[in-house]
Amino acid sequence: MVRFDKVQQTVFELITIGYEILDGRILNTNAKWLAEKITSMGGRVVRMVTVGDVVDEIASVIKDALKRKVNWIITTGGLGPTYDDLTLEGVAKALKRKLVLNKTAYEMIKERYRMLAEKGVVESPEITPSRLKMAMLPRGAKPLRNRVGSAPGVLLRYGKTWIACLPGVPAELYSIFEEELKPVIEKSLKKVYRVDKTIYVKRVAESSIAPRIAEIVKKYDGIYLKSHPKTIEDGVSKIEFQISSIANKIETAIAKINSVAADLKKIVLEMGGEIEREE
């Protein structure tokens, strides 16, 4: 259960693009990694969507996110040189902007293939049509340097929403996010503090304690309280409780999470349960 809605946070939506995710061949670790990074920075991910390599579908999910007036849209995948790398075409269609040759992106790609040719990775540094494709960005976009691969990341703004497009190759995504995108995100974040705590209990059934958990959640704004039932060992049920608290002041966040934890432990003991440990 979540009561984060009363605390102002910078809101993100993550869009993954690629049939390899939809058909189950590739596990979507990029979305997990981004969500963890954004959450640890104080942002709030409210939606994750995966679509195939189709311009209209990409454009549709971008437009839907813009209608919700989120602060950030981050896409992953579909920036490369192949025929099915269609992310930027989809973004351009959603924003009603043309794809144009970005000189900075062109120079990044030119330098990249010169280096690859010198190392013998490619036969020629020539900027072929496939390579040139990676320098065609929506009008007004800024390329983000890719120090690991060839396709630059892309950053642009539409109204009050930032849109960032990152490659699907994890190493490239990590590099661009940490070195290029993270500083921009940090400047946009509403200042909030997050505190996390985990409490492990036993001898209480999740179905029995569920109504009491709902009572705790109603008492506090800016908290997340979630039960994760574990396996039953020797007839003893075990539950892991995740508690998160956010507030505009660190002292408030700490006080709030301590109060929630105290309420939870009191209920567990009243029901005849035991507190195993707290982290």
Q: Which pLDDT score, from 0 to 100, does residue 42 have? A: 86
For residues 31 and 150, membership in a common domain is answered with: yes
Q: Which pLDDT score, from 0 to 100, does residue 1 have? A: 46
For residues 27 and 156, membership in a common domain is answered with: yes
Whole-structure pTM value: 0.84
Smallest CA-to-CA distance from 144 within 136, 133, 135, 153 is with 153
Q: Which pLDDT score, from 0 to 100, does residue 4 have? A: 52
Q: What is the pLDDT of residues 209-236, one digit of tens each?
A: 999 999 998 898 888 999 999 888 778 8
Smallest CA-to-CA distance from 87 within 18, 140, 178, 32 is with 18
Question: Is pLDDT of 272 > 90?
Answer: yes
For residues 163 and 214, membership in a common domain is answered with: no
For residues 9 and 121, membership in a common domain is answered with: yes
For residues 244 and 141, membership in a common domain is answered with: no
For residues 118 and 9, membership in a common domain is answered with: yes
Q: From the CB of residue 63, how many other CB atoms can be counted at a distance below 10 Å? A: 14
For residues 217 and 166, membership in a common domain is answered with: no
Phi, psi angles (nearest 5°) of residue 136: -90, 105
- Yes or no: say if 84 and 42 are a contact pair by the CB < 8 Å rule: no
Distance from C-alpha of 95 to C-alpha of 161, rounded to nearest angstrom: 11
Residue at a domain's end among 158, 188, 218: 188
CATH label of the domain that carries residue 254? 3.30.70.360
Give how far Cα 198 sits from Cα of 107, 146, 148, 217, 229, Å: 49, 37, 37, 16, 13
Residue at a domain's end among 188, 218, 250: 188
Average pLDDT, the chain: 93
Three-class SS state of 152 = coil
For residues 88 and 144, membership in a common domain is answered with: yes
Residue at a domain's end among 126, 154, 188: 188
Distance from C-alpha of 110 to C-alpha of 116, rounded to nearest angstrom: 10
State the Cα angle at 185 between 176 and 80, rounded to 5°: 30
Question: Is pLDDT of 154 > 90?
Answer: yes
State the Cα angle at 61 between 60 and 64, rounded to 5°: 90
For residues 21 and 58, membership in a common domain is answered with: yes
DSSP-assigned beta bridge partners for residue 47: 13
Give the chain's domain count: 2
For the residues 129-137, what does the mean pLDDT come to? 97
CATH label of the domain that carries residue 67? 3.40.980.10
Question: Is pLDDT of 83 > 50?
Answer: yes
The boundaries of the domain holding residue 59 are 4-188
State the Cα angle at 194 between 164 and 197, rounded to 5°: 125
For residues 144 and 221, membership in a common domain is answered with: no
Place of tokens 């990152």: 166
Q: What is the pLDDT of residues 4-44, one digit of tens each?
A: 555 678 999 999 999 999 999 999 999 999 999 999 888 99
For residues 50 and 113, membership in a common domain is answered with: yes
- Nearby residues of 58 by Cβ (< 8 Å), 6 or more positions away: 15, 17, 51, 75, 78, 86, 87, 89, 90, 91, 93, 94
Smallest CA-to-CA distance from 12 within 53, 43, 58 is with 43
For residues 20 and 117, membership in a common domain is answered with: yes
Q: Each residue of 65-99: b (16+ CB within 10 Å) or e?
A: bbeeebbbbbbbbbbbeeeebbbbbbbbbbbebeb
For the residues 59-77, what does the mean pLDDT come to? 97
Residue 268 amino acid letter: V
